[in-house]
Amino acid sequence: MHWEVLASEIMFRCRIFTVRRNHSRSLGSGQTHDFHVLDASDWVNVIPVTRDRHVVMVRQFRHGIRDVTMEVPAGLIDPDEAPAAAACRELREETGYAASGVQPLGVVHPNPGIMNNRCHIFVASDVQLVGPPQWDATEELSVELVHLDHVAELIRSGAISNALTLVSFHLLELHRPAHDEPVGLGSASIDLQGSGRPKGPRP
């Protein structure tokens, strides 16, 4: 089932990823084949929730699909940067909101068939607007507050289609103990399989 890399060659390099061609051999059958892999830095996603139970989301144009998507704040983790610090930085840069801290929800592989990186997912509660966003030169975003009650319907309708944003909300729901308050959000949890109404008492 496993393959060993016999030779590796860099085919293309840019700021956010490197394309590498691996000549590999199956340890089971002995056959050899070339596989292309994208080497990329780890990513971070953060679900920022305000005290009145709104999620701070962003809309931005995505060149892969040539359309605008609705997503949670996300980005690359800088070299030697802790994932939690990257989550707080991306939140501040993309939205102008800040959190005193974040809680981890999990780590996923975005596309293990061709990519070797991971996405670290966090939730931030009681976020507050502290200033204007600090976008990169090519970033053109709009910030939008979405009530937690409405997230499930946006997912069902396809208005939220970014896979890592969907995974982030799923992990948020999985981290709510069945017998206790939702992790990190007080009473602000969403039911992605039910009506979309929050579970537990309102604040």
The confidence band for 187, taking pLDDT boundaries of 50, 70 and 90, is very low
Q: Are residues 179 and 124 in the same domain?
A: yes
Pairing of strands 43-49, 74-76: antiparallel
The confidence band for 36, taking pLDDT boundaries of 50, 70 and 90, is very high
Give the pLDDT of residue 134.
87
Give the pLDDT of residue 178.
58
Range of the domain at 176: 41-199
Please check the confidence at residue 3 and state whether its pLDDT lies above 80.
Answer: yes
Q: Are residues 182 and 121 in the same domain?
A: yes
Task: Look up residue 3 and give its two tokens.
Answer: 């393959």
180 or 135, higher pLDDT: 135
How many Å apart are CA 187 and CA 181, to the nearest integer?
Answer: 6
Q: Are residues 140 and 60 in the same domain?
A: yes
Is residue 54 within 8 Å of 135, Cβ to Cβ? Answer: no
The confidence band for 177, taking pLDDT boundaries of 50, 70 and 90, is low
- Tell me, what CATH number does 182's domain have? 3.90.79.10
Q: Are residues 157 and 182 in the same domain?
A: yes
The confidence band for 135, taking pLDDT boundaries of 50, 70 and 90, is confident
How many Å apart are CA 176 and CA 182, to the nearest integer?
Answer: 4
How many Å apart are CA 49 and CA 54, to the nearest integer?
Answer: 5
- Model pTM score: 0.85
> How many distinct structural domains can be found in the chain?
2
How many Å apart are CA 159 and CA 40, to the nearest integer?
Answer: 27
CB proximity list for 35: less than 8 A, separation 6 or greater: 3, 21, 22, 24
Q: Are residues 48 and 33 in the same domain?
A: no
Q: Are residues 117 and 171 in the same domain?
A: yes
How many Å apart are CA 44 and CA 123, to the nearest integer?
Answer: 11
How many Å apart are CA 51 and CA 97, to the nearest integer?
Answer: 12
Give the pLDDT of residue 96.
96
Is residue 41 within 8 Å of 58, Cβ to Cβ? Answer: no
Is residue 141 within 8 Å of 70, Cβ to Cβ? Answer: no
Q: Are residues 35 and 54 in the same domain?
A: no
